[in-house]
Amino acid sequence: MTAALEIDDLWIEAGDPADPLVLVRGVSLTVDAATVVGLVGESGSGKTVTCMASLGLAGRGVRITRGSVRAQGTELVGADEATMMRVRGGVVGTVFQDPLSSLNPLQRIGDQIAEAIALHRGGRRRSHRARVVELLAKVGVPAPEERARAYPHELSGGLRQRVAIAMALANDPALLVADEPTTALDVTVQAQVLDVIRSATRDEARSALIVTHDLGLVAEVADRVAVMYAGQIVEEGPVSVVFGDPQHPYTRGLLASRPVLAPGRRRLGAMVGRPPLPGAWPTGCAFAPRCDAASEACAEAPPVRTGSDGWSRCWHPSDSESGGNAPTAEEGAA
């Protein structure tokens, strides 16, 4: 089966070609059919530029100097604008952090979605009205017929992001590329938007590449995760494997430095009511991947500690006897 996205040995530069700034170095990444890949990494590691340049949307002066990007088998590097237009919004739907960046403030949202459909499927905007309402309902916009007549500024941030997702799904794309789709939203709304993304991918066997800083989001919706560091992918694999047993020191650091809530209260992978990912943290506290204690014990545990190896783990007073999760002498002294 053709992969939804195949990035092969992609190099991206910016600035003076005689003295270029190399932003991305030989990135290869495949998003298979019906697979969700999370792309994580520290700020400035090249996640956005990889996605944007792949879709021909990189900023001025940013150029692909080597490599190949195929969306559903269509080569995008060096493709003409007509091909890019056909692929963007047709084969690939895009969602950005700020929904206002993809919405026209002067046009009713229903007209904008209808226009996106007409651009790829032809026909007049009016003829796509039923599809617009169906899309708005699908992403959970209440009173979709009425809301279709609203302008972007009349909607909350969460509703605007739902509309942006509806627009990205308008032509039933094989792949969704979402860059920090929940970052600008408050926590409750994040969970709702995450649900929308999950049903747009898992329930409809659609692929997605999701750029995010939120490892919980990745654990929640992604099948695979790729970790970027300084313009390169340093680790890639199934989420349960990479998060459960990270091999690269940067991935270990990233996992160790993720925000920690009260242990036992919230697990990565169970933020919106889903059971933890099989194999990710099969037992114990999700915030301490090497903690074997039952979650009830973790709820009473002292704060998660970071060991000298960069791993977080719980430390229970009773562990001093059993030795199980007790910090080593070195950690205890830290």
Ligand X SMILES: Nc1ncnc2c1ncn2[C@@H]1O[C@H](COP(=O)(O)OP(=O)(O)OP(=O)(O)O)[C@@H](O)[C@H]1O
Enumerate binding residues for ligand X (CB under 6 A): 14, 21, 23, 41, 43-49, 59, 61-62
Torsion angle defined by CA atoms of residues 258, 269, 135 and 81, in that order, rounded to the nearest 10 degrees = 50
3-state secondary structure at position 328: coil
Identify the DSSP state of 88.
B
Nearer to ligand X, 31 or 155 (CB): 31
- CA 273, CA 220: separation in Å to the nearest integer? 10
* Residue 324: CB minimum distance to ligand X, A: 37
Question: Measured from the CB atom, is 102 or 240 closer to ligand X?
Answer: 102
Smallest gap from residue 59 Cβ to ligand X (A): 3
Q: Which is nearer to ligand X, 102 or 295 (CB)?
A: 102
Task: Please give the structure tokens belonging to residue 258.
Answer: 């993720």
Cα separation, 328 vs 314, whole angstroms: 12
- Per DSSP, what are the bridge partners of residue 247? none
The answer to whether 35 and 4 have CB atoms below 8 angstroms apart is: yes
Closest approach, Cβ 43 to ligand X, in A, equals 3
Nearest residue (CB) to ligand X, 183 versus 192: 183
203 Cβ contact list (under 8 Å, min separation 6): none
CB closer to ligand X out of 14 and 234: 14
In the sheet that holds 5-14, the strands lie side by side as 21-31, 5-14, 63-71, 74-75
Taking the least distance from each CB to ligand X, the nearer of 17 and 59 is 59
Closest separation in Å from C-beta 33 to ligand X = 25
Residue 331 identity: E
Two tokens, residue 171:
């032509």
Spell out the residues 6+ positions from residue 205 whose beta carbon is closer than 8 angstroms to its own: 33, 34
Q: Which is nearer to ligand X, 14 or 92 (CB)?
A: 14
As measured in angstroms, the least distance from the Cβ of 78 to ligand X is 19
User: What is the nearest approach in angstroms of ligand X to the Cβ of residue 23?
Assistant: 4
Nearest by Cα to 61 from 14, 10, 12, 11: 14
Nearer to ligand X, 27 or 285 (CB): 27
Copy the structure tokens of residue 36. Answer: 């969700």
Closer CB to ligand X, 212 or 325, in the complex: 212
Task: Give the angle 28-38-46 at the CA atoms, nearest 5°.
Answer: 55
> Minimum distance between the CB of residue 101 and ligand X, rounded to whole angstroms?
13
Lookup result for tokens 């998003």: 31
How many helices (H) does the chain have, and how many strands (E)?
13, 12
Cβ 13 to ligand X, closest distance in Å? 9
Task: Indicate the burial class of 308 (C-beta count within 10 angstroms; 0-12, 13-18, 19 or more).
Answer: exposed
Q: How far is the CB of 213 from ligand X (least distance, A)?
A: 6
